[in-house]
Amino acid sequence: MVPEERWYSDWALECGHLLPCDDAYSIAKELFPDSKYEIAGFPWPINEADLAGNNSYLARMGAKGKLKPFMCVKPDWDPDYVEKTLVEGGFVGFKPYPDMVTGVKGADISIFTFLPHEQCNILDKYGKAVMLHLPRKERIADRDNIRELLELRERYPNITIIIAHFGRSFCPIYLRKGLRRMGDVKGFYFDTSAVINPEVYNVALSLIEPSNILFGTDMPITLWHGKQIWRRRRYINMPREEFTWKKVRRPKEEPFYTLVLYEQVRSMLDAFDRNGLGKEEREGIFYGNALRALKI
């Protein structure tokens, strides 16, 4: 059981806790009624969660053909157990998370602290994916993160590396600086989940091949109504809902707020127009690239 105070320790945790598979499809049908979709399912990657139970549920849903499941892993789990669960559960890969080591966002820890080499070897052996959330304050622009990402790509060539949230680039400064420092970004995929800032998409499309960008929603976290505003290195959420973290209030505007997930999609579509993406590239970002990345 996750303590109630844990849900209120971070704005994203307060937004949405659980989203069962059938509910996710019902919501997706309402949000995108003219679209066909498949769902990638993830456990809650926090230390207090029942990760084994989460993994078991996702494996069952995957076996029923309802989703493509990712497995959450703790760095101290026995490698034999991890390998057995990965293979028998039909998981497409791992979702490790810094919270398995520390509950502090942006903690100054190595990627290989929460994704140890023993687990990388397992992913590489089976050619599976990793949905990677970067640590450290500077996110993808951090030189140690860049060095470790390049090491991961070089040392484990069979792993599909998906960098979540464009490397936690909710503001463009991180992505622009990080990609320029990295230089060669071949072999990395980048996930769009919860990235609302339109300028991030302009930076991404100028420095990343569209075939290496994957659409993600981060549901249920993004199922609130509101806007974001941005400073150079931070974002400010403006929700209609009365979350405990609500700081900015604009009563006259709030009745007209749409879902922040729609704000994300609008930013994406506008960036596609500005950057001249064709139908095939757009369909790839929203669907086809993920099938190729996950070898489905």
In the prediction, which pLDDT does 144 show?
98
Distances (CA, A) of 40 to 132, 180, 223: 14, 30, 17
List the one residue out of 73, 186, 163 whose CA is nearest residue 123.
73
Q: Report how many helices (DSSP H) and strands (DSSP E) the chain contains, helices first.
A: 14, 9
Share of the chain above pLDDT 90, in %: 87
Instruction: Look up residue 9 and give its DSSP letter.
Output: S
Strand segments, DSSP code E, in the chain are 39-41, 67-72, 93-95, 129-132, 160-163, 188-191, 213-214, 226-230, 235-239
In the prediction, which pLDDT does 6 show?
86
List the one residue out of 98, 174, 102, 99 whose CA is nearest residue 143.
174
Share of the chain above pLDDT 70, in %: 100
3-state secondary structure of 163: strand
Q: What is the mean pLDDT of each run of 10 residues along the chain (296 residues)?
A: 84 89 94 92 89 96 96 96 98 95 86 98 98 97 98 98 98 97 95 98 97 96 96 95 93 95 98 97 96 91
Domains delineated in the chain: 77-82+92-293 (3.20.20)
Q: Are 95 and 71 in contact (CB under 8 A)?
A: yes
Cis peptide before 220 (omega within 30 of 0): yes
Q: Are 141 and 178 in contact (CB under 8 A)?
A: yes
In the prediction, which pLDDT does 46 show?
86
- pTM, to two decimals: 0.96
Radius of gyration of the chain, Cα coordinates, nearest whole angstrom:
18
